[in-house]
Amino acid sequence: MKIGFIGDVVGRPGRGMIEAHLRLLRDEFGIDFVVANTENASHGFGLTIKNAHELFGMGIDAMSGGNHTWDRKELEEVLDDLPILRPYNLPLGVVGRGALVFDVKGEKLGVINLMGHFSMPMCDNPFVSVKEAVAHVKEQGAQNIFIDFHAESTSEKAALFAMLKGEISALIGTHTHVGTDDMSIDKGTLFLSDVGLSGCRDGVIGVDKEAPLKRFLTGLPAAFEIPSKCKKVFQMAIFTLEGGKCSDAFKIKIFESGERFIQKAYHEQL
């Protein structure tokens, strides 16, 4: 099976780039299933039910979240019904699901959403919780397992990969909005610290630069805004899973001009 994963979709510019490119890319590369982190898809904060349905209609099959999942309270109404994940390692009793199993080309795909500890809201230890999550999807017959690790620290992401490589199919990070160049496959497990945002590529991590600059210069609060006009980017990891292992992967980056860049994963030698 061939999987596509889109990192943090930021506001209308991110949704627009998905609408412009995702269907074409699914056909071009034969992508069977697409997961996207959409916790910033509605004006940069949270996800509305309306935007969720729009994104499903654009070719996304499942969505993951993170610390901004709760910014639009209305989303709680559909978290148990639509294929939208929230971090698995939230305290007991929180609405929604952190792991789901899907049928893809006659095989089972387990998708897990996890949140890091460093500089993030209260959550259970991801290194302990992930063991339960992996066991949960395996019990449902999922041999192919993908994790969106929504975390601030690259060291957390690398450490979780070190613990899980050979046991899951892929682990890709989100949250920082800045794509990294460390895509590799080791012991059949794909790793990428952060796939990067889809949305405005100028400004500061998808938002207009004025508010972040005010915060950095004065320490005073300022509301983040998504620019109505900006230079945009679409970023997606595409990877092939066979028998629970990742056999091939690359990341594609498309600018608003249509210019493309492709980064292939490095295969570690056994």
Is residue 146 included in any domain, yes or no? yes
User: Within the chain, which residues score under 50 in pLDDT?
Assistant: none
Which domain does 142 fall in, by range? 2-199+231-267
For 205-222, the pLDDT digits (tens) are: 999 999 999 999 999 999
Q: What pLDDT shows up at residue 122?
A: 85
Residue type, 199: G
What is the CATH number for 131?
3.60.21.10
Helices 126-139, 154-164: axis angle to 10 degrees equals: 40
Give the model confidence (pLDDT) of 90-130 as tens digits: 998 899 999 999 999 999 999 999 999 888 888 999 999 99
- Per the domain annotation, does 217 fall within a domain? no
Q: Of 112, 111, 246, 236, give the one whose Cα is nearest residue 184.
A: 246
Position 147 in a domain: yes
Specify the number of domains making up the chain. 1
Which one is catalytic: 68, 136, 175, 177? 68
Q: Which of 246, 63, 238 is nearest to 167 (CA)?
A: 246
User: What pLDDT, on the 0 to 100 scale, is given for residue 270?
Assistant: 64
Angle 133-115-239 (CA atoms, 0-180°, nearest 5)? 70
In a domain, 210, yes or no: no
- Model pTM score: 0.95
Q: Are strands 170-174 and 144-150 parallel, antiparallel or unpaired?
A: parallel
Can you give the pLDDT at residue 224?
A: 92
Q: Is residue 215 part of a domain?
A: no
Helix (H, G, I), strand (E, B) or coil at 9: strand
* Long-range CB pairs of 80-84, under 8 A, 24+ apart, other chains included: 82/52, 82/56, 84/38, 84/47, 84/52
Cα dihedral 164, 38, 258, 250, rounded to 10, equals 10
Asked whether residue 157 is domain-assigned, the answer is: yes
Matching residue, tokens 């570690």: 268
Is 53 assigned a catalytic role? no
Angle at 146 between CA 180 and CA 102, to 5 degrees: 140
CA distance 180 to 151: 14
